[in-house]
Chain A
Amino acid sequence: KAGVTQTPRYLIKTRGQQVTLSCSPISGHRSVSWYQQTPGQGLQFLFEYFSETQRNKGNFPGRFSGRQFSNSRSEMNVSTLELGDSALYLCASSPRTDQTEAFFGQGTRLTVV
């Protein structure tokens, strides 16, 4: 069974640009969550989707958005990039709404210059 797949693995963007990251969950998993990981703040929750609906959202500005498709694949978008958005963006999938057995992908390393 394939794991959680995130693309691309690495990205370099310029301040002010926007970026879209993709996450394909484990087959059969309908819950997808996104996290931002930085050395200073650790792992912080962005949002969670289940069956194409955003169920939960963390404390991030509106520049961070996401969506989930009918096949459970999810994308997150960051608009008007800032230097502080440089981070490892991680996606986790779970088969259930209770978030049990949540497995992570390898992440997308975003660098904003």
Chain B
Amino acid sequence: GESVGLHLPTLSVQEGDNSIINCAYSNSASDYFIWYKQESGKGPQFIIDIRSNMDKRQGQRVTVLLNKTVKHLSLQIAATQPGDSAVYFCAENNYGQNFVFGPGTRLSVLP
């Protein structure tokens, strides 16, 4: 079946450094991806999305890269701040079907 997986369950970075969170997906037909951030006790917060006809998209301090050849997605956070500490999920969607979520990566920002 479809699956979306993350390579690293936990990631610790120093404040001010850049963070890279990776995601592998298995459904080559997926055409839309979203990165979500979830803080404790809250629902997932939309960070950035990308369609399969793009390989890069930038937001405020965040960049998503999509490599369809190897079915890999990454989220880059520039100048990581304490407020970035959370669990990050990637989600894939296939032409408006339900999202399939990865297990999540916990990002810890060290002072």
Q: In the complex, what residue of chain B is closest to A94 when comparing beta carbons? A: B96
Is the C-beta of B84 less than 8 angstroms from some C-beta in chain A? no
Q: 22 A-B pairs, CB-CB below 8 angstroms?
A: A4-B43, A33-B98, A35-B99, A42-B101, A42-B102, A43-B89, A43-B99, A48-B98, A56-B98, A97-B96, A98-B32, A99-B97, A99-B98, A101-B49, A102-B46, A102-B99, A103-B46, A104-B43, A104-B44, A104-B45, A104-B46, A107-B42
A106 contact set on B, CB distance < 8 A: 42-43
| B74 interface hit (Cβ, 8 Å) | no
What B residues does A101 contact at CB under 8 A?
46, 49
B63 near A: Cβ within 8 Å? no
- Complex-state Cα separation, A99 to B91, whole angstroms: 11
B45 — which chain A residues lie within 8 A by C-beta?
104
Of residues B98, B100, B103, which shows the largest number of chain A Cβ atoms within 10 Å of its Cβ?
B98
Q: A89–B95 Cα gap in the complex (Å)?
A: 24
